[in-house]
Amino acid sequence: MAYRRVPFQLSEWFHCYNRGIDKRVVFESEDDSERFLQLLYLANSTDKVHMDDLPPQKAEDVVARPRSGTLVSIGAYCLMSNHFHLLLKEIVEGGITRFMQKLGTAYTMYFNTKNERSGNLFLKPFRSRHVGDDRYFQRVVDYIHCNPAERFEPGWKRGAVRNMDRLEWKLRDYRYSSFPDYARERRTIGAILSEDGFKVYRGHGQRKMLDDARAYYADISMDDRDLHS
C-alpha cells in the first residue's frame, strides 16, 4: 500500500476521495447512486454488509435500520459520475481504512454483478488529506459541496459564475451531496452524517462558499487534481 503523508489518527478529520479506474463512470444511474448512499450508512458499522438484504429501494428506507457501533464520523460527502468525496473522522482504531474497504468492496460487488464485469472498480489505494484545523475544515466542506457546480457553472473554479442564485438552488437540489443537509432542515438521509461536522462548520453565503472551495482546490497538488475530475 502507498505511504500516507499523514497516517490516520483517532479524532482527526481526513478528506478521503477516489475515482473509477481510467476515469470510468462508476455511478451510471440513480440506482447506482442510491446504492452508494445506502452503503455509506451500512458500511459504517461493525456489522457485515449482506448484499442480499439490499433490494432496490431509496436510501431513506435503509437508514431507518438499526446498526452496531460505527467506525467513523461522516462529516460531508458528494458523489460525482466518476468519483466521490468523503470527510471522515476515525472514532475507532483503524476505522477509516476498514470503512473504506467495506464501502469499496460492497459497491464494487454490486456494480460488477449488475454489469457482468470483474476486477477492481476504484483506484487503489484511495487518497486522503489531513484536515488540521477548523478553518481548513470549512474549506474542505465547501469544496466537497461545490463539486456539482461543475455541471451548472463550468467556470466556477476560475471565479466565473453567471447566475449565483441559480447555482445555489442547483446545489441545494443535488440529492447525492450532504449540502442540502447543511443548507436547510436535514433530510431523512441526513442519518448518514454525524453531528460532529455540524458542530464545527459555520455557514456563510454562497460567494464565501465558492471562495473557500476555490482556495482548497488551489491547494491541491497538480498530481492529485486528476482524481478530482
- Helix 206-219 vs helix 134-146: crossing angle, to nearest 10: 100
Lowest-confidence range among 27-31, 95-99, 207-211? 207-211
* Mean of all residue pLDDT scores within the chain: 89
Residue 141 has pLDDT above 90, yes or no: yes
Q: What are phi and psi of 50, to 5 degrees?
A: -105, 110
In angstroms, what CA-CA distances link 222 with 5, 110, 137, 171?
Answer: 16, 32, 21, 26
pLDDT at 145: 94
Q: Give the model's confidence band at 226: pLDDT under 50 very low, under 70 low, under 90 confident, else very high.
A: low
Which one is predicted more confidently, 98 or 153?
A: 98
Q: How far apart are the first and last CA of the chain?
A: 23
Sheet of 72-79: strand order equals 72-79, 83-90, 13-19, 127-131
Q: What are phi and psi of 78, to 5 degrees?
A: -160, 135
Residue 58 has pLDDT above 90, yes or no: no
Spell out the domains of the chain, with CATH numbers in brackets: 13-228 (3.30.70.1290)
Task: Give 211's contacts (C-beta < 8 A, 6+ positions apart).
Answer: none
Q: What are phi and psi of 163, to 5 degrees?
A: -140, 100
Nearest to 172 by CA among 209, 135, 136: 209
User: Within 13 Å of residue 189, how many CA atoms lie on the same side as its CB?
Assistant: 23
Across residues 12-27, what is the average pLDDT? 96
Residue 158 has pLDDT above 90, yes or no: no
